[in-house]
Amino acid sequence: MLGTGILSKSPHCYQDNNFKVENGDILLDVGCAEAIFALDCISKVSKAYLFEYLHKWHRPLERTFAPYNDKCILVKKLVDDKTNKMSTKLIDAIDTDLIKTSHFFVKMDIEGYEKTVIKGNDDFFKSAKVKLSCCTYHRQDDAQAIEALLKGMGYKTRFSDGYMLPYQLNGIHYPYFRHGVIYAQNY
């Protein structure tokens, strides 16, 4: 055990002591991959939606979350601004009654498409009670653009501690250090 609180100070943490999944929340893990975050929170949530398009994760997710079939739903689609065979809007994937009556914790790490998904799902983000933990380091302007978008929808926002130095195959570009995650809440 490190004992220094270093992990809670990471710029890529989806939660901190003041912004976290609460008992009874509904978790939307958008871009869940292996769903370590969802697994860590599963005992607290009343329901968990795991959104993962990549087929390579489906079987491992099904096996990992088999003991939680009563409250876990694997959605094998991209989250996008439309619902079709390959993609879904958040509002179309979730029971309408839940949207009106529940608190949601949305974790979003979708490799630079966060801004597009927030814009394309503004109906959900405006109508549901949401805490959003969203990556902001994939694209150069994500932190500022996503913060402005969320504030425009009435969310209170702040960033995780510290900054990240995202290294890309074609080198690093200004701004060299970026905010890792934005925490936003509308209730």
Q: Which amino acid is at 81?
A: D
pLDDT at 10: 82
pLDDT along the chain (187 residues), means of 10: 57 92 98 96 97 97 97 97 96 93 97 95 97 94 96 97 78 80 98
Type of residue found at 107: K
* pTM (two decimals): 0.92
Burial of 186 (0-12, 13-18, 19+ CB in 10 A): middle
For residue 174, the SS3 value is: coil
Give the pLDDT of residue 2.
Answer: 45
pLDDT of residue 7: 55
Residue with tokens 């653009």: 145
- In CATH terms, 21-185 corresponds, of 3.40.50.720, 3.40.50.800, 3.40.50.150, 2.40.50.100, to 3.40.50.150
Amino acid letter at 59?
R
**DSSP H or E segment with residue 146:** helix 142-152
pLDDT for position 150: 98
Distance from C-alpha of 138 to C-alpha of 159, rounded to nearest angstrom? 15
What whole-number distance in Å separates Cα of residue 150 and Cα of residue 156? 8
Burial 71-85 (b: 16+ CB within 10 A, else e): ebbbbbbbbbeeeee
Separation of alpha carbons 181 and 133, rounded Å: 6
pLDDT of residue 169: 54
Burial of 61 (0-12, 13-18, 19+ CB in 10 A): buried
DSSP conformational letter for 55: G
Closest CA to 23 of 43, 48, 9, 38: 43
Helix (H, G, I), strand (E, B) or coil at 159: strand
